[in-house]
Chains A and B, each alone.
Chain A
Amino acid sequence: MKPLKLRTKIILFTSLLVIAVVAGSFLVINQVVKTQVRSRLVRDLERSQQTLEQIQQDRLREMAVYSIIASENSTLKAAIETYQTELQSNSPILEQLRRTVENEATKLFVILKADLLVVTSNSGEVLAMEGIDPPTTRAGLNLSDQPWIQNCLSPNPRDFEQSAGIWRFQGRTYRIVSVPILLQDLVIGTLSSGYEISPHLVATIKLNTGSDVVFVAGDQVIASTFNPDQNGLLLRALKAQPQPPATTAFDSQTEVMLEGETFLALQIAEGSPSGGGFIILNSIDRAMQNIMGGIKVTLVFIGLFSILVAMLLGLALSQSITQPLINFVNFMGGITRTGELQQKFRPHSPNYEVDVLARSFESMAQSLAESQAESSRYHEQLRRKEFNEEKISRLATRSRLDALISQINPHFLFNALNTVGVLIDENPDEARRLTVKLANIFRQTLQASEREVVSLEEELRFVQDYLEIEKARFGERLQVEERIEVSNAQIPCFTLQPLIENAVKHGAALKIGTTTIRIVVLQENGHLNIQVSDDGMGMTPAARDNMLERGYGLRNLIDRLNIHYPSEFAWKVESEFEKGTVVSLALPCHPPAAKT
């Protein structure tokens, strides 16, 4: 899987965060709103209850008032009163009187616009009944056991509400109210009027209250604004509820589920519990839907807006991190390409982290550069050292060659051999000795080429051998004086020989007369002081200034000493024309750097 870009990560993260926050808010809001809606629905239900009761009360009161007016019908009163009087004598006019009552009841029924009208005598016997088919059902019907009739007939009637009731008759349920029919303050009968609790009625109530209304009597739904399935569910739900004690007149409030919808139900006690009662229901879900619908849309918009803002911010944020990083990477790439470790990351990055990174990188590069410099220095030294050693070896070889050349120089050889030749006759021992010396010189020269460093004694011995030969040639003209106060010193080979050779060649050879060569080796102030002086021809200043160019031997010596004692030795040449030359060397006491 490809690793995600920082920008994608930020956007994903913020989007998820926004979604989580929006969803969380929705849940919290949902809960809060639900609580609010519940309490509001409770108020709504109570208002609906008031409205419903008001509607019913108003209607009943209206019916009662109209019934009272209707009961003031003189024909009705006369017919009822006469009927009851005639009843004792079983008069043939009874039937006519009853028909008269019925006739009057029919007229009143039309005027009252009631669903039901019942006229009874003061014994509760039904004289006329309107609104129910067939009318024959009334024969022999006596309603004196109905509480609302009883209240009317009672000599001490209670208030108006007691004359109202629920009457279930022939499968129909009526809200009914009775008024007494009075004749000179005497109750001669009752007039009851009622309206049927019908689907139409509950629909009207729903229209007025906005709540669903169900009328339940016994175990039966009489009228409902729900469909039959819901009615069944509601009955079952109500049965499952713990029934409030029948004695409490309080209206009970419950929550019921109907086909996945939650309703808050308020049961209204309607007189006697057996008579039945209304249940008003408000859907919590529907109320929630109305409110939460808007909130949901708002939240989704806020969420989308937040995601958009988060995207932009994420882009900006990632840009603020990645751009300096890209710059930094480019910077590093530049270093890689050019190898310029001293480069600085400019300008300072606005991003703190990248800045810190850049500074550490710079400091690292700095260290790297230093260590590289150190390393190159070291390599340079190494290289130089190797070079020096090579040069020393080369110079030594050259010296040896020079020495050989010098020694096998035809002049030297000729002179030497000439001297030997002269001496063979005059002094054969001396000649033999010189020959041995000459052989020693050549041997030593060849041996010495193997080594760079020799002891002072060896060098002196070699020089003495050489001087023996020269002395034999020059005779008395060459005197040698030695003052050696140092022993056990190590010096580069051929350190003295070139100086002696120069003294002989440029001092003694050119001078007429005796030349004394002095060799002094002292140890002073921690230095080995070597001085070779002659009182020979000496050098003009010009010759002295050019002596390094002209004289091959001295330059070679200086070069070699330079390698053996870098910056640790001193040399000096003092010369005065026709007076002599002094060459001084100050070498350190420690042995010269040995050839590795």
Chain B
Amino acid sequence: MKASLPRIRTLLAAGSVFGFLTACLSGSGDWLPSIGGGFVSAAPNGGFATVRGVVKIESKIQPRSHGINFYSRRGGPAVPPKPTASINELENVVLYLEGNFKATEAPFPRRPATVVSTIRQVNETFLPQVLAIQTGDTVHFPNDDPFFHNVFSLSGSRSFDLGRYPKNQVRSVKFDRPGIIKVFCHIHSHMNAAIRVFDHSYFCRAGSDGSFSISQVPEGTHTLVAWHERLKLRRQVIRVQPGENASVDLVL
């Protein structure tokens, strides 16, 4: 264990520099205050710590409507659903650590290899609208609507077309490469969802109250990113110390 300490220190130092550089290069412009008071101490927990915090959305997400729904008289609900009303945008926020963790991944504990996530199709809406998964994960797309849906994606990292399928059928897609996969429905052009695929496990979706928690984060300096499909990225440099649970608040 002793022998490993200087190595960790080196790593820490390297991570710190890396994080700093990343923060600078990201062009976020917010990095100065982050440096001043943003370095959060992580709990000394055997070189790992959990990063917790709360994300808030203060920017406005501008919804606009053209006032015409061309499917209202075609077997669907008479009044088109207002997806935004029932969707908590905080749940669509994905928080993750930026960086290349492949080299350092091996020593860290990993999530179970087969994590299955689900995006349901309810009321001509994908639920959840945003999903964060790790490479190798599979996503199920069950149809809960009483009519057909046709889920597809044109994204470069994983394009697929699940074809048309009726209620209660489930089709699944396995994602092997990281990236942002935009998901649409051929039949209902307004439906969309986004799947973020990471090649590491340092990510999570915010809860309905904006709280989040990324566990097993190795000690060192990292850049925490808050991402929302329609909002500008928010980066925050954090310093993780083993055994110290880091607490960080982010505003989008």
Contacts and interface: CB of A to CB of B under 8 A. Distances in A.
Contacts of B190: 72, 77, 182-185
Interface string A83-107: 0011001011110010010000000
Contacts of A92: 156
Contacts of B179: 89
A93 B186 contact: no
A81 B184 contact: yes
Interface in B62-76: 62-66, 68, 70
A322 to B, nearest CB: 94
B204 interface: no
Interface string A56-88: 000000000000110011111111011001100
Contacts of B180: 85, 89
B188 interface: yes
B184 A77 contact: yes
Contacts of B133: none
B187 A187 contact: no
A74 B191 CA distance: 9
Given A155-B62, A157-B64, A185-B65, A74 B185 contact: yes
Interface string B184-228: 111111111010000000000000000000000000000000000
Contacts of B185: 74
Given A75-B186, A85-B180, A93 B70 contact: no
Max chain A CB contacts within 10 Å: which of B153, B159, B190?
B190
Contact of A179 (B65, B66, B153): B66
Given A72-B189, A184-B190, A155 B64 contact: yes
Interface string A397-423: 000000000000000000000000000
B155 A74 contact: no
Nearest to B60: A155
B188 A74 contact: yes
Nearest to B159: A93
Max chain B CB contacts within 10 Å: which of A68, A76, A157, A184?
A184
B84 interface: yes
Interface residues of B, number: 30
Nearest to B186: A74
Interface string B149-160: 000111111010
A111 interface: no
Nearest to A185: B63
Given A183-B190, A184-B190, A184-B191, A81 B182 contact: yes
A76 B192 CA distance: 13
Contact of B155 (A86, A100, A155, A182): A86
B64 A79 contact: no
Contact of A82 (B68, B83, B153, B189): B153
Contacts, number: 82
Max chain A CB contacts within 10 Å: which of B157, B159, B179, B184?
B184
A68 B71 CA distance: 13
A74 B154 contact: no
Contacts of A72: 70, 189-190
A538 interface: no
A78 B83 contact: no
B167 interface: no
A186 interface: yes
A185 B84 contact: yes
B230 interface: yes
Interface residues of A, number: 31
Max chain B CB contacts within 10 Å: which of A72, A76, A91?
A72
Contacts of B184: 74, 77-78, 81
A86 B189 contact: no
B40 to A, nearest CB: 28
A507 interface: no
Interface in A142-180: 155, 157, 179-180
Contacts of A89: 156, 179-180
Interface string A444-458: 000000000000000
A78 B64 contact: no
Contacts of B159: 93
Given A78-B154, A100-B154, A182 B64 contact: yes
Contact of A68 (B64, B66, B192, B194): B66
Given A78-B182, A82-B154, A180 B64 contact: yes
A186 B194 CA distance: 14
A186 B84 CA distance: 11
A359 B84 CA distance: 121
A91 B156 contact: yes
Nearest to A74: B189
A77 B66 contact: no
Contacts of A186: 62-64, 230
B155 A93 contact: yes
Interface string B119-160: 000000000000000000000000000000000111111010
Contacts of A157: 64
A37 to B, nearest CB: 46
Contacts of A75: 186
B182 to A, nearest CB: 5
Max chain A CB contacts within 10 Å: which of B65, B155, B179?
B155
Contacts of A82: 153-155, 182
Nearest to B190: A184
A184 B124 CA distance: 10
Contacts of B192: 77-78, 81, 183-184
Please provide the 3 A-B residue pairs with the shortest distance between their CB atoms, ordered closest to farther: A93-B156, A74-B189, A91-B156
20 contacts: A74-B189, A77-B190, A78-B153, A78-B154, A81-B182, A81-B184, A82-B154, A82-B155, A85-B194, A91-B156, A91-B157, A92-B156, A93-B155, A93-B156, A179-B66, A182-B65, A185-B63, A185-B84, A186-B62, A187-B64
